[in-house]
Copies of this chain bind each other. A is one copy, B any other.
Amino acid sequence: MTSPGRTDALDRPPRMAVGWPASNEEDVVEDATHGPDPGPIMQLGLGFWGSKTLLSAIELGVFTELGGGPERFDALTGRLGLHERSARDFLDGLVALGMLERDGDRYANTPSTDLFLDRNKPSYIGGMLEMANARLYGFWGSLTEALRTGQAQNETKHGAANPFEAIYADPATLAGFLKAMTGISRGIALAIADRFPWADHETYFDLGTAQGDMPVQVALAHPHISGGGMDLPVVAPHFEAHVAANGLTDRLRFEPGSFFTDPLPRADVLSMGHILHDWNLEEKMTLLSRAYDALPEGGALIVFDSMIDDERRRNAFGLMMSLNMLIETPGGFDYTGADCQRWMREVGFRETRVEHLVGPDSMAVGIK
């Protein structure tokens, strides 16, 4: 939270996705000489244009199609099944948004979109954005109602007891959700595998593990670590397939159950990633308390989420993620690193710390 950065965030709106770069510099000058510039307001307000354009590009498989190399306009639009009317505006729009490159008539992925948005690459992180396109974009259309009522606006509006019941009920939705979680957590898993003092511990279980990418990345980086992941029974085949694909079946096992009602696995280290923000305060405290009870003396709990900065004025993504919990859950909300450390101490952890990981995510570590 450097104060230059904070000043930046307060004194002028951040630059928007759908900008008008041709005149940005001029605008800044005009801004200084002729008072406030409406540009940033219009760009944020209409920012859903650029956002939905990328989501549709992922849905249409643009980046997967270009994963094989650059393609000419006609061949590309033909294979993507794009109507001629707006195909060029769509692709050139992706160029202007920095998601594609264009050389003459040939379109190509950028290094980033080639690595992260080609479904055929293991580094694909588009699952979360596929879910955003298929579910969240529409649900967020009811944000105003959510803000007035405090009620979720997703499948639960139509009878599901909680979003997971709805997501877990349909095999295709479940598979997509679990892959999505792996996609958005991969960079975090690598950071934790790299920065946490694993040498001091031998066993590790991840709670609400989905495909189990957290234990997989930790086990791959630290051959002395064994353990596994806990999630609802329906998740088992997805976990076992991912672990087997990484050749870790001998060291990582699946523990079926609910982290609210079933005994938690015994291990030196437990983690909850993108879990705590799904639940209300009472449920959060229950989860932290159950983790504390399951740990041995000297054991550690790792909690990570898109933690909001302690002053609640800089991590816009963390604050928007909390509004996403409003849209998606009955009582979930995101929180600051200070909140998480306070809760950890309330349930008994004697030592706590917070470390920034990657992007909007930070981890809080509690030592019993």
Cβ of A116 < 8 Å from any Cβ of B?
Answer: yes
Query: Inside 8 A of A39's CB, which chain B residues have their CB?
Result: 358-359
B48 adjacent to A146 (CB under 8 Å): no
Cβ of A92 < 8 Å from any Cβ of B?
Answer: yes
Query: Inside 8 A of A5's CB, which chain B residues have their CB?
Result: 21-22, 24-25
B129 adjacent to A45 (CB under 8 Å): yes
B26 adjacent to A356 (CB under 8 Å): yes
Cβ of A125 < 8 Å from any Cβ of B?
Answer: yes
A98 adjacent to B320 (CB under 8 Å): no
Q: How far is the CA of A85 from the CA of B152 in the complex (A)?
A: 11
Q: How far is the CA of A99 from the CA of B40 in the complex (A)?
A: 9
Cβ of A232 < 8 Å from any Cβ of B?
Answer: no
A147 adjacent to B83 (CB under 8 Å): yes
Query: Inside 8 A of A331's CB, which chain B residues have their CB?
Result: 85
Given contacts A86-B146, A112-B37, contact A47 B13 (CB under 8 A): no
Query: Inside 8 A of A144's CB, which chain B residues have their CB?
Result: 56, 59-60
Cβ of A161 < 8 Å from any Cβ of B?
Answer: no
A42 adjacent to B323 (CB under 8 Å): no
Cβ of A137 < 8 Å from any Cβ of B?
Answer: yes
The minimal Cβ–Cβ distance linking A358 to chain B, given in whole angstroms, is 7
Which residues 323-349 of A have a CB within 8 angstroms of B? Answer: 323-324, 326, 331, 333-334
Query: Inside 8 A of A306's CB, which chain B residues have their CB?
Result: 20
Closest to A356 in B: B23
Cβ of A261 < 8 Å from any Cβ of B?
Answer: no
A326 adjacent to B101 (CB under 8 Å): no
Given contacts A51-B51, A312-B92, contact A359 B27 (CB under 8 A): yes
Cβ of A195 < 8 Å from any Cβ of B?
Answer: no
Q: How far is the CA of A347 from the CA of B46 in the complex (A)?
A: 34
Query: Inside 8 A of A143's CB, which chain B residues have their CB?
Result: 52-53, 56
Q: How far is the CA of A129 from the CA of B138 in the complex (A)?
A: 18
Which residues 118-148 of A have a CB within 8 angstroms of B? Answer: 125, 128-129, 132, 137-138, 140-141, 143-144, 146-148
Query: Inside 8 A of A360's CB, which chain B residues have their CB?
Result: 20, 22-23
Cβ of A96 < 8 Å from any Cβ of B?
Answer: yes
Q: How far is the CA of A360 from the CA of B314 in the complex (A)?
A: 28
Given contacts A82-B147, A132-B46, contact A96 B20 (CB under 8 A): no
Query: Inside 8 A of A33's CB, which chain B residues have their CB?
Result: none
The minimal Cβ–Cβ distance linking A232 to chain B, given in whole angstroms, is 26
A36 adjacent to B316 (CB under 8 Å): no
Cβ of A276 < 8 Å from any Cβ of B?
Answer: no
| New contact pairs (9) apart from A45-B58, A50-B320, A93-B322, CB-CB < 8 Å | A5-B25, A6-B21, A20-B315, A36-B112, A41-B113, A47-B47, A52-B141, A60-B147, A95-B313
Which 10 pairs of residues, A with B, have the shortest CB-CB distance? A13-B98, A83-B150, A47-B51, A85-B150, A96-B316, A93-B319, A20-B360, A49-B320, A36-B112, A45-B129
8 intermolecular pairs with C-beta atoms under 8 Å apart: A41-B99, A41-B117, A49-B140, A51-B51, A82-B148, A83-B147, A90-B147, A93-B320
Using a CB–CB distance below 8 Å, which chain A residues touch chain B? Answer: 1-2, 5-6, 8-10, 12-27, 30, 35-56, 58-60, 81-90, 92-93, 95-99, 101-102, 110-113, 115-117, 125, 128-129, 132, 137-138, 140-141, 143-144, 146-150, 184, 187, 306, 308-309, 312-324, 326, 331, 333-334, 356, 358-360
